[in-house]
């Protein structure tokens, strides 16, 4: 399995950043989370004057064998239909990307469909969907390793293009089920608290989903490690996102984290390399059951709470202006000394 060299940001600059933030012409601490974000970003970039360059939202798409068990309201063909909508610029995340100046990359990681050649679609189909983890592991070790490596390579490409802040999205019917399995096995939070409506299941549908996942959990005979849980229950799009996150942290990039599925990708990534959490900014808390719980488990403080549950990276991109505001605070606010203002508290 691909390895990464991820170090925590050097804390040596903290005192200077603190002094700069506290000497801006405002009461100390009065810009709240913006000040916390400014500190985090300054430490990640190791500068008193950070910059956000060429933000990118990378969407990985793949199908899931567990969808055959009726765990999602939506049929499997929706995965490829939404990929076409990404490519035509009509999906929810597309207008947000245009609004906030994000580039987009769309990757076919394992959609159960043969796409015709299409500009804007990056082809790396590992398999036409994972296997059904109710009965067997979703993927082989070789497939997991391929997904991790390609996710990392995609982020390396973004970095080479000048990107230093990146978000990840996903499309894959059944991936809230995979995420619930990752969550319960890696946090010990009971499965009942990890399973939700996904794309819109009613109470009966959620109960059926829980029963299927509980049976899959009972059938699991792996070692419970993050690497094995990722392989046994994951989707190719999710594992690519894990690889992308780890490479982003290795390269010192900021990672804007989206919803339930991407937060569980952070969970797996941080189990493998705990220091990667220092590079993560959590965009929002969504409506999917379990999202708040996994955020709390990670000690994360999401920026928004708008009832979002679209995925695609939409909540991360939506939160970007707040991150931009934190950077602008550091770079554009005047100090007490510059304006000859008596320091006030």
Residues tagged active-site: 312
Give the other-Cβ count within 10 Å of 130's Cβ: 33
Place of tokens 């010192």: 252
Q: What angle do CA 298, 318, 23 make, to 5 degrees?
A: 75
Tokens of 227: 């690497």
Q: Taking a C-beta distance cutoff of 8 angstroms, is the pair 94, 109 a contact?
A: no
Integer Cα distance of 328 and 269 in angstroms = 30
b/e for 78-117, b at 16 or more Cβ within 10 A? bbbebbebbbeeebbbbebbeebebebbbbbbbbbbeeee
Place of tokens 């190791």: 46
């Amino acid at each position: 399995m691909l390895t990464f060299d991820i170090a925590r940001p050097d804390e040596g600059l903290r005192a200077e950043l603190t002094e700069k933030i506290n000497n801006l012409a405002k009461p100390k601490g009065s810009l709240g989370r913006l000040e916390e974000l400014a500190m985090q970003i300054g430490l990640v970039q190791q500068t008193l004057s950070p910059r956000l360059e060429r933000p990118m939202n990378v969407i990985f798409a793949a199908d899931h064998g567990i969808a055959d068990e009726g765990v999602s309201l939506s049929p499997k063909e929706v995965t490829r239909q939404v990929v076409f909508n990404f490519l035509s610029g009509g999906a929810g995340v597309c207008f947000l990307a245009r609004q906030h100046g994000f580039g987009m990359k769309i990757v076919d990681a394992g959609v159960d469909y043969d796409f015709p050649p299409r500009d804007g679609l990056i082809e790396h189909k590992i398999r036409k969907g994972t296997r059904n983890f109710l009965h067997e592991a979703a993927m082989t070790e070789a497939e997991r390793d391929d997904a991790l490596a390609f996710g990392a390579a995609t982020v390396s490409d973004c970095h080479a293009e000048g990107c230093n802040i990146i978000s990840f999205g996903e499309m894959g019917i059944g991936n809230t089920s995979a995420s619930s399995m990752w969550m319960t096995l890696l946090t010990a939070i009971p499965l009942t608290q990890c399973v939700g409506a996904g794309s819109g299941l009613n109470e009966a549908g959620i109960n059926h989903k829980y029963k299927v996942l509980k049976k899959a959990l009972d059938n699991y005979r792996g070692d419970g490690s993050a690497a094995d849980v990722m392989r046994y229950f994951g989707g190719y799009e999710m594992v690519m996102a894990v690889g992308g996150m780890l490479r982003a942290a290795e390269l010192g990039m900021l990672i804007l984290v989206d919803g339930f599925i991407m937060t569980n990708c952070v969970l797996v990534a941080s189990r493998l390399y705990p220091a990667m959490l220092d590079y993560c900014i959590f965009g929002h808390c969504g409506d999917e059951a379990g999202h708040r719980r996994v955020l709390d488990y990670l000690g994360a403080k999401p920026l928004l709470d708008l009832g979002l549950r679209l995925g695609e990276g939409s909540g991360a991109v939506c939160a970007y202006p707040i991150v931009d505001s934190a950077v602008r605070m550091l770079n554009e606010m005047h100090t007490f000394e510059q304006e000859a203002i008596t320091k006030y508290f």
